[in-house]
Amino acid sequence: MVTISDVAREAGVSTSTVSYVMSGKRAISADTRDRVQAAIARLGYRPHAGARSLASRSTRVIGLQAPLRTGVDVPVIMQVVAGVVQRARVHGYDILLLSSDEAEGLARASRGSMVDALLIMDVESEDARLATIAELDQPSVLIGLPAGRRSIPCIDFDFEAAGWLAVDRLVGLGHTRLALFGAPEAVMERHTSYADRLIRGFLEACEARGVEGSTHPIPDSAEALAEVDAVLTADPGITGILVHNDGALPFIADRIRAHVPSATAPDCLALTSREGALRAHGLTDTIAVPAEALGESAAEMICAMLAGGAHPSVQLLPPELAVGEPSRARIDS
Amino acid sequence: MVTISDVAREAGVSTSTVSYVMSGKRAISADTRDRVQAAIARLGYRPHAGARSLASRSTRVIGLQAPLRTGVDVPVIMQVVAGVVQRARVHGYDILLLSSDEAEGLARASRGSMVDALLIMDVESEDARLATIAELDQPSVLIGLPAGRRSIPCIDFDFEAAGWLAVDRLVGLGHTRLALFGAPEAVMERHTSYADRLIRGFLEACEARGVEGSTHPIPDSAEALAEVDAVLTADPGITGILVHNDGALPFIADRIRAHVPSATAPDCLALTSREGALRAHGLTDTIAVPAEALGESAAEMICAMLAGGAHPSVQLLPPELAVGEPSRARIDS
DNA sequence: TCTCCGTGTTGAAGCGCTTCGACAGTTTGA
DNA sequence: TCAAACTGTCGAAGCGCTTCAACACGGAGA
């Protein structure tokens, strides 16, 4: 193993000088700096992470608790994780992946000085981990929005606003009876924060706009078709539909199109992180969930905190409506 | 921060005794052990990971390079990762998630003593990272099977055997013209090891059994339908079909069923990690890709290496055919 | 009785790094 | 011209832990 002493000897300087060259915390003459950097390159030196964290009390690692359980939309999670990893790297941080064995993993990583900060995904409205995080006294960011007072910084897509946006769009198109087909029952029961908020936004907007709106959890598999079918059959008056369930989308798209076959005025909006695939279903209007951007913003936020900057307590990424071109899109597919 | 000295003082022993109680590397009297453990619990002591790794030259962290890029079947990756994380924890290891910026991340983690071992996913037949890994001189396991000499231990699902198994099954049912609809073009072009191997097994088995077999990469989206359609239309003689593309499955299942509508003798096998969803497509015969088990085995393998045990150089998880009940399944859905 | 051995415990060295205070040597300001 | 202020470098302490050599002690064998 190449140590800092090896580099110092090679460059003819002291170890502290090498350290200062690497960190830039003290002025170093150009000549010395070059010699040291050349020595580092020549020897292929990499500082020992453990030694560094011991001396500097910082690890350059961020703990990320991602939900690996079922019932969540896995591809979305992956996109967020990818965004986090990639952006954290830009700031020189690595990611320690903590499994979702709830609070224990967080405590271990934090107390054991394995990480400089924690990033927590898949937050529930009343999340049991919140108490642990609070007493851990470690910079943390939640990806998700728990209910109540916000002592911990949060970031998320603004699902509530997305609900409003969808309703406004559908009402603007003339629909007066709306339905939201959302996350699976299991997700709802856990009161996963995003599902709750989407429903709230959707229902509040319906009330505000004076239209009827109903919400329906559906499985993220083929079984969704039966449930959607039942809802639409029971109430043929529903003409405006919002779907937030990427897993179910392939199975129910045909049924929904058959229900409201208007080709020019879209009646179904999808809230999804996979815009590309939508075209294929003949669904063209999309509210994109910017999953990767969310991960990147979360990483950015926590890196800013670690860099000592101030930070907003709650950051919500605004929804944007992407209106497609129905006819062309259907031909494309 | 609670340190080992705090614990030692609290328990009335020396720091080395505390250390030996934790590691079990020296005999300690029951009385002393209890006192130390009580002190640890009382103070909520957790050893500093960096200090530990500095002194012991081991981090209890495994680096995992997972493909976060597109074109891979994301849910499968997630399942493997989940298996790895969970099983590594059982052995007391955490997972450092390395992005796929190829060799650089591996070198950084390894040379910087951030990890005790490396686990590399999404291996290509001629993988550029292999050279780096070899010179890193760090315990490593590949999840996937590169071509050529095996200097690095590998583990994977036996896709080649799965190809044979599928062919044998379809031939056994009387089919003489087989088609494999597989991974997207992009995956093929990278020569991702599993895709290559499945095709090889499939074609070799076809030749051995004296039947005609063709292979077709298809997109993992709705566009797959057009390509499948083209193939089946061009050659109506194809009656035995193997699909290995979970993304495309929902879109093409109907078309395939329409092509060979026999309800009692299954004509389409799916190679998939999501058995449950299959029923819904009326496809009942499955060769399961045990994604989570694969991750677990990989973790097990590398932990065994780290524990100093001998290890098999190549480990392939055998495929298993799951024959469903067509009629009942279709009703269920 | 004395030596030898095994058991349980300790002190101290050292892992590789960062950082503080000190210190030469060079400018600058009065 | 001399003190004050920089600039660039170094020595040494110390981060929290593991582990080695040493040692105290009681029991067994001679």
Inter-chain CB proximity B113 and A86 less than 8 Å:
no
In chain A, residues with a C-beta closer than 8 Å to the C-beta of B333 are 222-223
| Mean pLDDT on B262-284 | 65
Chain A / chain B CB contacts < 8 angstroms: 134
Report the distance from CA of residue A11 to the C1' of nucleotide D6 in Å, as an integer. 25
What is the separation of C-alpha B298 from the centre of its chain, rounded to a whole number of angstroms? 7
| Mean pLDDT on A297-308 | 93
| Mean pLDDT on B252-261 | 79
Conformation bin of residue A137: beta by default, left when phi > 0, alpha when psi is -120 to 50: left
| Mean pLDDT on B236-258 | 85
pLDDT band at A320 (very low <50, low <70, confident <90, very high): confident
Which residues are CB-contacts of A142 (< 8 A; sequence separation ≥ 6)?
A120, A123, A127, A152, A153, A154, A155, A156
DSSP 3-state of A143: strand
Give the residue nearest to nucleotide D10 (CA to C1'). A14
In chain B, residues with a C-beta closer than 8 Å to the C-beta of A51 are 50, 54
**Cβ of B99 near strand D (distance < 7 A):** no
Tell me, yes or no, if B251 comes closer than 8 A to chain A by beta carbon. Answer: yes
Same CATH fold, A159-290+321-332 and A61-157+291-317? Answer: yes
pLDDT band at B269 (very low <50, low <70, confident <90, very high): confident
From the CA atom positions of chain A, what is the Rg in Å? 25
Tabulate helix, strand, coil % of chain B (nearest 5): 50, 15, 35
| Mean pLDDT on B280-288 | 74
Q: Write down the CATH number for the domain with range A61-157+291-317.
A: 3.40.50.2300
Q: Write down the CATH number for the domain with range A159-290+321-332.
A: 3.40.50.2300
- Which pLDDT tens digit goes with each residue over A185-223? 888 888 888 888 999 999 999 999 999 999 999 988 778
Q: Which of residues 207-226 of A touch B (CB under 8 A)?
A: 221-223
Please give the CATH architecture assigned to the domain spanning B159-288+321-332.
3-Layer(aba) Sandwich (3.40)
In chain A, residues with a C-beta closer than 8 Å to the C-beta of B95 are 96-97
Which residues are CB-contacts of A53 (< 8 A; sequence separation ≥ 6)?
A59, A60, A113, B49, B50
Inter-chain CB proximity A51 and B48 less than 8 Å:
no
Please tell me the CATH superfamily of domain A4-47, with its number. lambda repressor-like DNA-binding domains (1.10.260.40)
Which residues are CB-contacts of A149 (< 8 A; sequence separation ≥ 6)?
none
**Cβ of B149 near strand D (distance < 7 A):** no
Domain ranges for chain A? 4-47, 61-157+291-317, 159-290+321-332
- Which pLDDT tens digit goes with each residue over B42-53? 999 999 999 999
| Contact status, residue B51 vs residue B85, Cβ threshold 8 Å | no
pLDDT band at B322 (very low <50, low <70, confident <90, very high): confident
| Contact status, residue B47 vs residue B60, Cβ threshold 8 Å | no
| Contact status, residue B178 vs residue B170, Cβ threshold 8 Å | yes
**Cβ of B49 near strand D (distance < 7 A):** no
> φ, ψ for residue A125 (rounded to 5)?
-55, -45
Q: Quick one: pLDDT at residue B326?
A: 45
pLDDT of A29 above 60: yes
